[in-house]
Structure 1
Amino acid sequence: MMYKVELLSSGVQFVAAEKQTILEAALEQNIPFPNRCQVGACGMCLCRLVEGNVSYQLEPMLTEKERAEGWIFACQACATTDLVLTFDE
């Protein structure tokens, strides 16, 4: 299954496969996406989920407040629906 991912700040859209992380999908399609470690330790790929749902193989280190505000680690999150993301706070 493929899901559409839209980045609000730039209007860029790309697709992510069901078991592919959002970051992997973006980089594979030459979409600029902030990243450094690609394992959820640095926080560079942190973005806010505006619409949609994601799943994780391993739950990321997010505070309850960050989770409630919709923050996700794109290097660890896989789309389970179409997504709209933003880097804005």
Structure 2
Amino acid sequence: MTFTVRLLPENLEFTVEHGQTVLDAAIRQQIPFPYRCRVGACGMCLCKKLSGEVSYQLEPMLTEEEQSQGWIFSCQAYAQTHLVLTWDE
């Protein structure tokens, strides 16, 4: 299954295949996405989910409050639906 990710405010779109993290999909499609470690330790790929659902193989190092506000680690997140993401708070 394939899902679409839209990045705001740039309004860039890319697709995520089943079994692929959001960050891996962005990198493969040459979408400018900040990252360093790709394992959820550095926090550079942290972005805010405005709509949609993601899942993780391992729970991310985010507080319950951060998760309820929509923050995700794109390097660990697997799209379960179409997503709208932003780096803006």
TM-score (norm 2): 0.98
- What SS class does the counterpart of residue 48 from structure 2 fall into? strand
**1:39 alignment counterpart:** 39
Displacement over 6 Å in runs of 4+: none
Matched to 2:59, the amino acid is E
Matched, 1:15 2:47: no
CA deviations over 1:32-88 (Å, ceiling 9, x no partner): 000000000000000000010000001100011101100000000000000000000
1: CA distance between counterparts of 2:38 and 2:29? 16
Across the aligned residues of Structure 1 and Structure 2, the Cα RMSD in angstroms comes to: 0.5
Which sections of structure 2, spanning at least 5 residues, go unmatched?
A: none
Matched to 2:13, the amino acid is Q
**2:69 alignment counterpart:** 69
1: CA distance between counterparts of 2:24 and 2:55? 15
- Deviation, 1:8, is 1.1
**1:27 alignment counterpart:** 27
Matched to 1:87, the amino acid is W
Equivalent residue pairs, number: 89
1: CA distance between counterparts of 2:8 and 2:18? 21
**2:55 alignment counterpart:** 55
TM-score (norm 1): 0.98
2: CA distance between counterparts of 1:30 and 1:8? 16
- What SS class does the counterpart of residue 88 from structure 1 fall into? coil
Percent of aligned positions that are identical: 61
- What SS class does the counterpart of residue 15 from structure 2 fall into? strand
